A and B are shown apart, each in its own frame.
Chain A
Amino acid sequence: MLIMEPLTATTNWIQFLEDLCQREEHRLTRLETEVVLCLKEIPGQTKSDLLDIYIQSYSYIEEEAFTQRLKNIYKKFQVHGPGQKLPQLHKFAHDHYHKLKNQNGFFSSMGLNHIYSQFPKERFGDAIDQLVDASDQQPKEVDILQTFAPNLDDYARHLSRCLDRGVRVRILLAWPFSEAAKLREMVLKQYGDGSTDDDISIRDRVFANLETLEHIIKVSKKSELMEIRLYDTLPSLAIYRTGNYMLAAPFLHGSLAVNTFQLELTLDSSNQLITHTLKQDFELMWKVARFFRPEPNTNWRNNLKILFTH
């Protein structure tokens, strides 16, 4: 199966051809790639048509040299069948393109837009700002589900802006005294891939998040729009959602969720299998988690300690 990177819903014919030529197993030169880029998506091109497009698009080339370049291309794409080779090359490219398009169409219908190798810091910040500024009817909510959010400080300004502009914010974090938080900490320490501190303390990191949230509450005019809940169970996925935009990542043994791949999802997709399941699980965790507010200028650490023990 041909898998193209990056996998996006917007990959077009030209992008596809370019990606195809750059693949390790084909290794086309730049000049050969230029020839392939002259292939039209619709079949039926002759060698003469291709040469005309090449000359118009790039530069003059002798027919003999052009034929030699095509032969190299056929070789690199392993087009060995009997008969004319150009239609075979086109079929090879066309088949894979449509296979990819079908895959992309399928993923797109599921709401999957993109897969990032790690958390896209700027992208999420921009998505929050877009939600705050949007005049459409998408849900004006920002949700974060994490054990602790290592990147929460990156969004302190965005979250404050949400509250001031009437956007509801829901934060779900691990109760730092839970056995589940201890287990996650042990797993990261034992099986971490080196990207996590050896002396990581989930408890301290959640406390740090709560201090950030305390500050947001302190400076916000409408802090009641932010609700924080803590859970004593194991979370399913790390979720960062703003309106209909969501990033979801698994809690792998080897690394923090922000350092692993991120599924970028659109929540109003036609097929709700993934998005509905994730939303539903967030709501379930929200329901079983307990309300907590790091009220500024109070000993909220006292409340935190007994949150689940009475």
Chain B
Amino acid sequence: MARLSSLNKLERSLMGRLKTHPLMLEVPTMAWQDLLLILIQRRYLSLTIVNIYEFVIDALMDEPIKKTVREILHEEYPRTTKGVPLPSHREHLFNDLLNMGATAEMILATPESPTTQRIRHESHQVLLSCLQSNHCQVGLVAWLRFWGEVLVSIEYGCFWKRISERLADRHTENKKRSEFYYFHMIHDSRGSDIGCENILGGLTHSQELAVHLEGLIQTEEALNYCLRLEETAFQLKRQFYDQFIPHSTPGRSAAAPVTMFPAG
């Protein structure tokens, strides 16, 4: 537990830094058209998440952890118990964007920016680097959880302040309900410090992975590896949002992820 305190502290700090990223501070006053373009660009990262999850499932050795990751992935593609496919989370994302005022053409034809493409590529490179590490298994889980769940919830939390102007968190007469952003903001969230998950009340995706992470962090080296990975995840998110700040320098920052990331 004491070993995890530095990781918990870092996570809280990085979450705070993402919330106060200059772009996130602009969200409340941003023009809707600009917000939609950011969310459309952000959608490209969402489309990647399935591949990231599939990669992690293949690279994990431990069956119970694989099971957890598999279950989270399969939630993206719900079915009835009779096997009838229901709209996927990807479709919910598309519809939320439409219901906020984007057109199908905007969503489908807006090209992925070079920065978004690079962030997506480098995120994948981080996973590849995990394979070379002595702490591969813990790295995969730490990356997946922090990059794909904890920070995602923070991002959507920041956007929700505006999204909720046009979409509701429940069925109402006036607004359509958000089926993607609102629910991911909640079920992806960090929920609690690692090691403090409560058996009652259910676990978010982040907490489900945290339970495994806690068991995998057995040494200081493993812990340090996680600290570096989570810092890298944050830097990638930061760079992604930097691209929308006028006059910011796109491209690699001093914390460029892959080169700073020797196999641990």
Contacts and interface: CB of A to CB of B under 8 A. Distances in A.
B243 to A, nearest CB: 30
Interface stretch (A105-113, A260-268, A299-307): A299-307
Interface string A182-224: 0000000000000000000000100110010000000000000
A309 B187 contact: yes
Nearest to B200: A232
Q: Which interface residue of B81, B82, B87, B171 has the most chain A CB atoms within 10 A?
A: B81
Given A211-B80, A211-B81, A299-B179, A306 B187 contact: yes
8 contacts: A179-B199, A179-B202, A232-B200, A299-B87, A301-B86, A306-B186, A309-B201, A309-B203
Q: Taking chain B's interface residues, is the majority helix, strand, or loop, or is none over half, making it mixed? A: loop
A233 B201 CA distance: 8
B80 A307 contact: no
A178 B202 contact: yes
Interface string A41-76: 000000000000000000000000000000000000
A207 B86 CA distance: 14
Interface in B200-215: 200-204
Contact of A177 (B78, B179, B199, B202): B202
Interface in B91-130: 92
Interface residues of A, number: 22
Interface string A77-95: 0000000000000000000
A307 B202 CA distance: 9
A186 to B, nearest CB: 11
Contacts of A232: 200-202
A159 B183 CA distance: 31
Interface of A: 175, 177-180, 204, 207-208, 211, 232-233, 295, 298-299, 301-302, 305-310
Interface in B71-86: 75, 78, 80-82, 86
A299 B191 CA distance: 23
A306 B183 contact: yes
B87 A310 contact: no
A309 B92 contact: no
A180 B200 CA distance: 8
Contact of A308 (B80, B87, B201): B201
Contacts of B199: 179-180
Given A179-B203, A232-B200, A309-B203, A302 B171 contact: no
